Amino acid sequence: MARTQGSHSEITRPRVRAAALKLFAEHGYAAVSMRQIAREVGLQAGALYNYTPDKQDLLFSLMKAHMDELLAACSERVSQGDAMARLRAFVDFHITFHMGRADEIFIAYMELRNLTPENFETIEALRRSYENHLEAILAAGLSEGIFDVPDSKVTTLAVIAMLTGITTWYRPDGRLSPEEVSELYWNMVRKVVGA
Amino acid sequence: MARTQGSHSEITRPRVRAAALKLFAEHGYAAVSMRQIAREVGLQAGALYNYTPDKQDLLFSLMKAHMDELLAACSERVSQGDAMARLRAFVDFHITFHMGRADEIFIAYMELRNLTPENFETIEALRRSYENHLEAILAAGLSEGIFDVPDSKVTTLAVIAMLTGITTWYRPDGRLSPEEVSELYWNMVRKVVGA
DNA sequence: GGTTGATTTGAACGCGTGTTCATATAATTA
DNA sequence: TAATTATATGAACACGCGTTCAAATCAACC
């Protein structure tokens, strides 16, 4: 039972999180054991508790980190300006942000069921914050008189669903480049909100 | 260990399936035990094996039944006609068909990970069939010269994602009636495919 | 009414699970 | 250098899991 040479929490902790993220996304939280995660890192399961209080916290903190990062980046990257410019920025942002994070967005949507009630509330609130960001853009476009959106809440949900669906089929080695995907989706979103 | 009076496989089997569907949708396949399903029906776990060979087959057959029914109903209800009429029929069909089946569509998307490889292939093929139905409508509209769709495959995926997302937020006791939802989504889809 | 088949229970099997904790080794600090 | 802290193992605990199957009761048939 030697301490592995060169081991350090700043090395091992991120590896534990990356292994958990990958396995949760691939198989689902409930189907993945702590022994599996440990094996992926090259540890025994008991070691994981140096890095996470328990399994639920591991999932929750992965999801929360993703949502926090998403919201921070969104605030920064979707700049002020007229509604159409902001909408374009939002669509581009959403697509590029998530393209390198298929696993994160996957669990953010698919593992809500496996959160404790209080953890669920936290993540739900963060998701609503993100949705509200888009809805505010739609509302601005409406008051600027350039969008035609009968129900901004429903339109928000439809557009988010459309954009989020990309991760289910997009492959980096696929037929379309990220720029092409962005362009195609911008074209559709622009039409959805337009006259 | 009495046989329950009045029990019959034509009564118990559907109740087992309904309980499994509900619990799988609510908690996820891997997180739901056979003892939980049995409890929901009012049986012991050992009795379930009179109705399903195993847990995986229970999930698979629920998913397959849903997809088979969806495809059969779609073929019947999305009639011949010009592309715009068929697209409208498709959107209306998708929304109304799924509104009463939130649990079914939920597991059809979220429990793919828990299928064995061969079961996954079967369900995937059925999903592609459904998507191809919409894509064929888009192609028809293109050749009729009434749709402007730069990439029919991507548009198909975007529209399906939009429509399928309804089940994540729609509530029968919510602010919108099914007709209102259909109208809103038709309006958006019409714009997506139009000039 | 007796026989056969259908349906259920309860017990058991052979695993697997999340978690704890004493112990050993590596790294850091005084 | 010795003491302290960090990091990992391995064993164990107290469950739970999917599944099987003998036995008991109800239903259907002859």
| Chain A residues close to B158, C-beta within 8 Å | 162, 165, 185, 188
Residue nearest to nucleotide C12 (CA to C1'): B46
Tokens of B57: 């087959």
| CA→C1' distance for A13 and D2 (Å) | 30
CA atoms within 13 A on the CB side of A27: 15
CA atoms within 13 A on the CB side of A34: 16
A111 and A45 housed in the same domain: no
B152 and B176 housed in the same domain: yes
- Other Cβ atoms less than 10 A from the Cβ of B154: the count is 21
CATH number for the domain spanning A139: value is: 1.10.357.10
The whole-number average pLDDT for the span A44-51 is 96
B47 and B113 housed in the same domain: no
Could A168 and B161 be called an inter-chain contact, meaning their C-beta atoms sit closer than 8 Å?
Answer: yes
A103 and A81 housed in the same domain: yes
Encode pLDDT of B129-169 as tens digits.
999 999 999 999 999 999 999 999 999 999 999 999 999 99
Does the CB of A124 have a partner CB in chain B at under 8 Å?
no
Encode pLDDT of B15-30 as tens digits.
999 999 999 999 999 9
| Chain B residues close to A107, C-beta within 8 Å | none
B36 and B131 housed in the same domain: no
Residue B46 banded pLDDT, cuts 50, 70, 90? very high
Residue nearest to nucleotide D17 (CA to C1'): B33
**Residues B152, B138: contact at Cβ < 8 Å?**
yes
Residue nearest to nucleotide D10 (CA to C1'): A1
Does residue B81 reach within 7 angstroms of strand D, measured from its CB? no
A20 and A45 housed in the same domain: yes
The whole-number average pLDDT for the span A57-72 is 97
A62 and A121 housed in the same domain: yes
Question: Is residue B134 assigned to a domain?
Answer: yes
B7: nearest nucleotide, CA–C1' criterion: C7
B21 and B90 housed in the same domain: no
The whole-number average pLDDT for the span A21-44 is 96
Gap between the Cα atoms of A160 and A163, Å rounded: 5
Question: Is residue B159 assigned to a domain?
Answer: yes
Question: Is residue B1 assigned to a domain?
Answer: no
CATH number for the domain spanning B39: value is: 1.10.10.60
> Which one of A113, A184, A194 has the shortest CB-CB distance to B150?
A184
What is chain B's alpha carbon radius of gyration, rounded to the nearest angstrom? 19
Is the pLDDT reported for residue A79 higher than 80?
A: no
What confidence score (pLDDT) does residue A117 get? Answer: 94
Is the pLDDT reported for residue B73 higher than 80?
A: yes
Question: Is residue B171 assigned to a domain?
Answer: yes
Gap between the Cα atoms of A104 and A138, Å rounded: 26
Tokens of A112: 């809500």
Query: Mean pLDDT, chain B, as a whole number?
Result: 95
CB pairs below 8 Å between A and B: how many? 84
The alpha-carbon gap from A120 to the nearest alpha carbon of chain B, in Å, equals 13
Residue B80 banded pLDDT, cuts 50, 70, 90? confident
A125 and A150 housed in the same domain: yes
A83 and A111 housed in the same domain: yes
Does the CB of B69 have a partner CB in chain A at under 8 Å?
no
For residue A129, what are the domain limits?
54-193
Does the CB of A121 have a partner CB in chain B at under 8 Å?
no
Gap between the Cα atoms of A68 and A60, Å rounded: 12
A16 and A100 housed in the same domain: no
Does the CB of A102 have a partner CB in chain B at under 8 Å?
no
Does the CB of B168 have a partner CB in chain A at under 8 Å?
yes
B119 and B181 housed in the same domain: yes
Could A110 and B114 be called an inter-chain contact, meaning their C-beta atoms sit closer than 8 Å?
Answer: no
Question: Is residue B156 assigned to a domain?
Answer: yes
**Residues A24, A3: contact at Cβ < 8 Å?**
no
What is the sign, positive or negative, of the torsion defined by CA atoms of B108, B112, B115, B120? Answer: positive
Give the rounded percent of residues in chain A with a pLDDT score beyond 90. Answer: 90
Gap between the Cα atoms of A120 and A97, Å rounded: 23
Q: Cite the DSSP H helix spans in chain B.
A: 9-27, 34-41, 55-77, 83-99, 102-110, 117-143, 152-164, 178-193
Number of domains chain A contains: 2
**Residues A77, A93: contact at Cβ < 8 Å?**
yes
Give the amino acid at A102: A
